[in-house]
Amino acid sequence: MPTERFACLATGAGLVLALIIVGAQRLPGPWEKVAHFVCFALITALLWRGTAGKARCAVVGLVIACAALVELHQALQPSGRPALGDFITDAAAALAVGLVLFIRGKTLCVESSER
């Protein structure tokens, strides 16, 4: 199981890195906000599972900080166009996934059948 959790953490970190590298790309119309929401919801779920649900607030806070970092990176690029709406969408995804998983009491880990 530690290998699976490591894979989740590595994938979540890889997605954030990919967003920073190719973050200046824009999608047409409302699909951009949908893509932002889905991507940051996925990052939150991966990190949640990678920490076995034991660092809930840290995961949500880290994902929101990563969203701010992505927008800051865009602001520092010559052709970058940071958007407050993108950051709000990203933070909403992290909060929504975190809230749903917290309410459902999920760690997103396979429970042991031995009790």
88 in a structural domain: yes
109 in a structural domain: no
65 in a structural domain: yes
Q: How many domains does the chain have?
A: 1
93 in a structural domain: yes
The predicted model scores a pTM of: 0.83
Q: What is the pLDDT of residues 47-97, one digit of tens each?
A: 998 988 888 899 999 999 999 988 888 888 887 777 898 999 999 999 999
Distance CA 73, CA 96 (A): 24
Distance CA 26, CA 74 (A): 11
- Check pLDDT > 60 for residue 111: no
111 in a structural domain: no
The range of the structural domain enclosing residue 29 comes to 2-104
Q: What is the pLDDT of residues 93-110, one digit of tens each?
A: 999 999 998 888 765 544
| Residue whose entry in the numeric block shows the structure tokens 């396979």 | 110
40 in a structural domain: yes
Position 115 scores a pLDDT of 38
Distance CA 92, CA 106 (A): 19
What are the residues whose beta carbons fall under 8 Å from the beta carbon of 52, sequence distance 6 or more? 5, 107, 109
Residue 1 has what DSSP assignment? Answer: -
